[in-house]
A and B are shown apart, each in its own frame.
Chain A
Amino acid sequence: MSEPPPRPAAGPATPLPSKPRPITWRLANVVDIIPETPRVRTLVLDVSDWPGHRAGQHVDVRLTAEDGYQAQRSYSIASPPEDRHLALTIERLDDGEVSPYLTGELRAGDQLELRGPIGGYFAWSVALGGPLLLVAGGSGIVPLMAMLRHRAAALQNAEPEVRHRVPARVLYSSRRWDEVIYRDELARLADDDPALQVTHTLTRQPPKGWTGFRRRIDRMMLAEVAWPPAERPQVFVCGPTPLVESVAAALVELGHDPARVKTERFGPTGGAT
């Protein structure tokens, strides 16, 4: 997050809350660490008295060195609100200060400080309905995966008609096939659910026999994969800044209402070091 979005002009009429509840630092126990790709790990955390979250929100993580030095970073929540544990999926940035520690040094049994959930805009729940269009680049899939997991959990026992009221399409750009985060789970979710369509594009070295897209997401690809604007999808786009800039611009050119296109961007050091 940080700045300009879409919304009817003029400030919301909600009055200032007189005494907002602080978002306090909590201690999280690392229950498990799951390798996702060569550079990506999921931290499974047990957070005492976690207040709950919505899919798409994030947390702030704080590390403390022995001399008292502290570093904070924001990470998207990967787990749906329905899960008992909180999951953060983190990509190691080689020049990062925090992500190499979280993906390399941290072990099950260690503790972390975090606070959240944070961010009320880039968030979705089944109650908001669909269709849903999720566009991701690289680790930008993380908050969108929380939405897909939430959708699957909420619709698990739903009748097919109900499921078809919240159809979802995912367009996910990765560099290489072995860098696709949640690859098997995405395939499984799509196999189990005719109302979910997952499309991959690989921008470098597609595997032998690859018949899918092999370029950066562009307007033509979006026109082919995305819901037509007339379906009025709710759109969430998350990834590196150049991808988000070009995808959001292309969606607006295709006729999607800018107010329905919600974005989250991370630059080289934008939000995920």
Chain B
Amino acid sequence: MSPVSRGFRGRSRPTAESGRLPPGQYETRDFPVLSAGPTPRVSPAAWDFTVRGPGTQVARWTWDEFSTLPRETVTRDIHCVTKWSKLGTMWEGVSVDTLLAEAAARGVGAGPFVMALSDGGYTTNLPLADIIGGKAWVALSYNGEPLAAEHGGPARLLVPHLYFWKSAKWVRQLRFMDHDQPGFWESLGYHNYGDPWREQRYSGDE
């Protein structure tokens, strides 16, 4: 049981929106940028996206090919482990379901776990179940504009039901694995799964 902080009142409590804020989060209206290193820059000519099966099979899209894939517009609340949440963010991107269907058509299967790999060397791990069934996208635009580099452009993963470090910026590959492995932050003390509603911020959080 937490002791009362003498003299602390806090902001006026959010009302209509309060049900949309997971525990320990506060609402922000701007869009903070957080990353552990310099922002990588990659030209469209050098960009590609790959889905790699648990074996060696790879499905690959160039930037031009990727740009022709059907896109969805999604509006979601996002939650960063550093405590800010941003409500009703609007994205446009390719559903991971679409990518996996295309990959399967090319003989590349999925596995029970996936590692997202990014330019700059960032990685994050997810269970397959959390990226299929309309739960994850490779986002190419935010608020109707092409995704800015500092927010992960040209393409970032969008998995809004988990803390936002799982939505890897600058994503280039989904690599399926037979066994789970921790990604970058997951091996530096952050939670392996990262459900904001269960406040799974750090390793050891229930």
Contact = CB atoms under 8 A, between A and B. Distances in A.
Interface of A: 1-17, 20-23, 25, 27, 60, 62-66, 69-74, 97, 101, 105-106, 110-113, 118-122, 241, 245, 248-249, 251-252, 258-259, 261-271, 273
A67 B1 CA distance: 13
Given A16-B182, A241-B150, A69 B10 contact: yes
A205 to B, nearest CB: 27
Contact of A267 (B2, B8, B33, B187): B33
A270 B10 contact: no
B182 A269 contact: no
B152 interface: yes
Contacts of B33: 241, 245, 265, 267, 270
Interface residues of B, number: 63
A44 B80 CA distance: 28
15 contacts: A4-B120, A4-B168, A5-B36, A5-B120, A7-B123, A12-B182, A16-B182, A20-B204, A110-B6, A119-B188, A241-B32, A262-B37, A265-B34, A270-B82, A271-B83
B189 A119 contact: yes
Interface stretch (B22-30, B67-75, B135-143): B22-30
B26 A121 contact: no
Contact of A4 (B3, B32, B152, B192): B152
B198 interface: no
B169 interface: yes
Contacts of A17: 203
B3 A113 contact: yes
A112 B6 CA distance: 10
B188 A70 contact: no
A64 B150 contact: no
Interface string B37-51: 111100000000000
B36 A263 contact: yes
B170 interface: yes
Given A1-B82, A2-B164, A71-B10, A263 B35 contact: yes
B95 interface: no
A113 B206 CA distance: 19
Interface in B147-206: 150, 152, 164-165, 167-170, 180-185, 187-189, 192, 201-206
A249 B39 CA distance: 7
Contact of B38 (A9, A113, A263, A271): A263
Given A4-B119, A23-B189, A25-B2, 18 more contacts: A7-B122, A11-B183, A12-B181, A16-B182, A64-B3, A72-B83, A121-B188, A122-B36, A241-B33, A249-B38, A249-B39, A252-B38, A258-B37, A258-B40, A261-B38, A263-B35, A268-B30, A270-B84
Nearest to B9: A65
A263 B188 contact: no
A1 B34 contact: yes
B123 A3 contact: no
